[in-house]
Structure 1
Amino acid sequence: MKKIIFFHLLNDYSGSPKVLSQVIEAVSSKGADVELFLGGKGGDGFLSSVPCVQRRYFYKRFENKYLTLLSYSLSQLMLFFRLISYRKSSTVFYVNTLLPFGAALAGKLLGIKVFYHIHETSIRPKPLKLFLRWVVERCSSKNIFVSHFLADAERFPAVESRVIYNAIPQEMARIAAHHTYHAQPNDKFSVLMICSLKAYKGVGEFVKIASLAVHNKQIEFNLVLGASDSEVAEFFSGISRPENLTIVSRCEDVVPYYQKANVLLSLSKPKEWVETFGLTILEALSFGVPCIVPPVGGPVELVTDGKEGYLMDSSQVEDISARVEFLQKNPEVCFRLSAAAKLKSLSFSVDNFESSVLGVFNER
């Protein structure tokens, strides 16, 4: 197999580095010569222990969005010049997300094939997104999209493209396969949301939904955030937290939360951030957990309204709270949704994901 050099901007516990770690593991297991260029000095994330040589390049985030944009631009300029020493060969530059454009420009200049794995559509400011699309149009040899929605929303007619759905890691899939969903009315009914600490992810809406259900002592809410304790403290300073809400920061192992969950909420605000797939949704489905998700974007390819869960806009906090209480009081509905959820998750197997990824590199 070819030498593959992967590029990613920020290592954390979000979806795009998690998927990239799976790609790296898949090609490494087949004997590929692999390197990873990763932005920033350190920090924990899904890419921290992937089986390949890691090389760091400059990138730093700031509270000020203009400083962050300047830092990002400088990071890509430095990455571009760092890659000039590479020469045309059987190497492939694999750019994860639209952001590491310095690698794509260097690959184009050097005559190296550039593959893009595109995860996002909600990029701001708009001029940045237009520029990043321009780079893809001129530099990419092949695009991989995480959903048909994203492939349609961000189509590049001149670039060969394919959809490869994300999959959950093999070990998580094994645990999920042996998990039995419970929805007993006398136990605590657990409502789960796992996301990054961003307002557009619906964190505030989750708190409101929990507040609306605080009278029902049988329902508990768990919010698992990809953020540090200090970031969580700063975000929630001045925000009243209901007593039925537990907030967990920077959790490496989310399996125990799926195992106790009765329903998963995904509350991204479509006007600010459109979910292009929803890896936490797929993870929940694999554990047989019904999901309430946005009615637009990639989640619609995972959940059919009334079958594996429900399609509801995050602004409908009263309706979502009422739906949660309905599920808590009607375990037979939960079991029906759970069975369909588990069945649906089987369509997104690790084997399908890995064979599709390997097929991308084996194509001439």
Structure 2
Amino acid sequence: MKKIIFFHLLNDYSGSPKVLSQVVEAVSKKGFEAELFLGGKGSAGFLSSVSCIQRRYFYKRFDNKLLTLISYSASQLVLFLKLLRYKNKSAVFYVNTLLPFGAALAGKVLGIKVVYHIHETSIRPKPLKVFLRWVVQKCSSENIFVSHFLARTEGFSNVDSRVIYNSVPYAMEAAAQRHVYQALTEDKFNVLMICSLKSYKGVNEFVELAKLLSNNPAIQMKLVLGATDAEVADFFSGITLSGNLEIISSCSDVVPHYQRASVLLSLSKPDEWVETFGLTILEGLSFGIPCIVPPVGGPVELVSDGVEGYLMSSDRVKDIADKLEYLQSNPEVCYSLSEAAKLKSLSFSSEKFESGVLGVFDGN
């Protein structure tokens, strides 16, 4: 039986651990033996309940960026030394994101095949990104990219690569298939954004949108954040929030929020963070929700302007507010966009995702 050992740095409720949980599920169903190395101590996230052996290695984040960088470097040294005892050369080291480079270096030293699943392009500081790309160049046998945009932007000339689009998890896919989109729910036009609690995700722009739309009683804004209550309280300390804005923290089940949404926003700021795919966008499309997304990066492969939604940069806050009021006043437009969104989502099925992932291990 083939053994696949997965490596991820930080478990949370963001996209990359969610996708990895689907990969682990797919290979486990196929009969492969799976093992997962996670950094940190028991942090909650999508990888908390995956059905495989889990092992932890040191990692801790700090408010100070330099301390976090030192902690990260130490964590990869610890991981590298742990893995040097590994002897099963028929195994595969599956490195999720560019960050767990200690696993890739160990795989190279041990003669074990290394596969990278690359999700990101926005890594700082720049010297770190240069180093991580060097490790991939030297150690990886094959790279998986989450979009064609990312494959073009971060491709490696000497490493085999393939694009495997993310998919909606089976349980969510089933819920989406049963869902009937409503432009208005209980006479409210519900504007949803789901993201990490980072300024580069456009959180402040969403707050500003809520303020601009606060005089329209029909529009309700909902911000679902992958963060604790304490982190949310700290982030918004000193910021006046309008009454039409609801903020939800530490949400592991986002399905009810999709079921009530009239439109989905993705407001990542491309000059700070380029979305390489946009898993929440795909999830929104699967529920037939029109989406307003950045005009660059992976989202362009999910949404065509005026078809499934609109391509609008997050710095156009007033224009986005006007577009939301237009959609709220024209439900027939919402329903047309919704039909196209549902249709587009069918191109990103769980079956295609699993087939692509399992194809990486064929003949190996």
TM-score interval (norm. to shorter): over 0.9
In structure 2, the residue matched to 1:281 is: 281
In structure 2, the residue matched to 1:242 is: 242
1:122·1:273 contact (CA, 8 Å) conserved in 2?
yes
Per-residue deviation at 1:70?
Answer: 0.2
Q: Secondary structure at the match of 1:361?
A: coil
Amino acid of the structure 1 residue aligned with 2:65:
K
In structure 2, the residue matched to 1:10 is: 10
Identity of paired residues, percent?
72
Q: Distance in 1 between matches of 2:363 and 2:124?
A: 34
1:204-223 to 2 correspondences below 5 Å: 204-223=204-223
TM-superposition CA deviations, 1:45-98 (whole Å, max 9, x none): 000010100000000000000000000000000000000001252100000000
Amino acid of the structure 2 residue aligned with 1:41:
K
1:185·1:328 contact (CA, 8 Å) conserved in 2?
no
In structure 2, the residue matched to 1:42 is: 42
Per-residue deviation at 1:179?
Answer: 0.4
Q: Secondary structure at the match of 1:347?
A: helix
Per-residue deviation at 1:338?
Answer: 0.1
2:32 paired with 1:32: yes
In structure 1, the residue matched to 2:53 is: 53
In structure 2, the residue matched to 1:200 is: 200
Distance 1:165 1:356, change over 3 A: same
Q: Distance in 1 between matches of 2:186 and 2:38?
A: 48
Question: Any stretches of 5+ residues in structure 1 without a counterpart?
Answer: none
1:104-183 to 2 correspondences below 5 Å: 104-183=104-183
2:85 paired with 1:72: no
Kindly report the root-mean-square deviation, in angstroms, between the aligned alpha carbons of the 2 structures: 0.9
Per-residue deviation at 1:184?
Answer: 3.9
1:88·1:111 contact (CA, 8 Å) conserved in 2?
no
Distance 1:205 1:111, change over 3 A: same
Q: Distance in 2 between matches of 1:126 and 1:356?
A: 31
Distance 1:184 1:54, change over 3 A: closer
Per-residue deviation at 1:363?
Answer: 3.7
In structure 2, the residue matched to 1:290 is: 290
2:255 paired with 1:266: no
Per-residue deviation at 1:185?
Answer: 8.8
2:184·2:262 contact (CA, 8 Å) conserved in 1?
no
Per-residue deviation at 1:359?
Answer: 0.7
Q: Distance in 2 between matches of 1:65 and 1:121?
A: 19
Q: Secondary structure at the match of 2:35?
A: strand
In structure 1, the residue matched to 2:62 is: 62
After alignment, is 103-112 or 177-186 more displaced?
177-186
Distance 1:16 1:186, change over 3 A: closer
Q: Secondary structure at the match of 1:343?
A: helix
TM-superposition CA deviations, 1:256-291 (whole Å, max 9, x none): 000000000000000000000000000000000000
Q: Distance in 1 between matches of 2:18 and 2:252?
A: 11
1:34·1:53 contact (CA, 8 Å) conserved in 2?
yes
Distance 1:186 1:59, change over 3 A: closer
TM-superposition CA deviations, 1:94-152 (whole Å, max 9, x none): 00000000000000000000000000000000000000000000000000000000000
Q: Distance in 1 between matches of 2:184 and 2:233?
A: 34
Amino acid of the structure 1 residue aligned with 2:59:
Y
Q: Distance in 2 between matches of 1:149 and 1:183?
A: 31
1:3·1:91 contact (CA, 8 Å) conserved in 2?
yes
Distance 1:39 1:183, change over 3 A: same
TM-superposition CA deviations, 1:305-354 (whole Å, max 9, x none): 00000000000000000000000000000000000000000000000000
2:97·2:116 contact (CA, 8 Å) conserved in 1?
yes
1:185·1:329 contact (CA, 8 Å) conserved in 2?
no
Q: Distance in 2 between matches of 1:38 and 1:111?
A: 22
1:196·1:227 contact (CA, 8 Å) conserved in 2?
yes
> Scaled by the length of structure 2, what TM-score is found?
0.99
Q: Secondary structure at the match of 1:175?
A: helix
Q: Distance in 2 between matches of 1:174 and 1:88?
A: 38
Q: Distance in 2 between matches of 1:263 and 1:153?
A: 29
1:281-320 to 2 correspondences below 5 Å: 281-320=281-320
Distance 1:186 1:117, change over 3 A: closer
Q: Distance in 1 between matches of 2:30 and 2:363?
A: 15
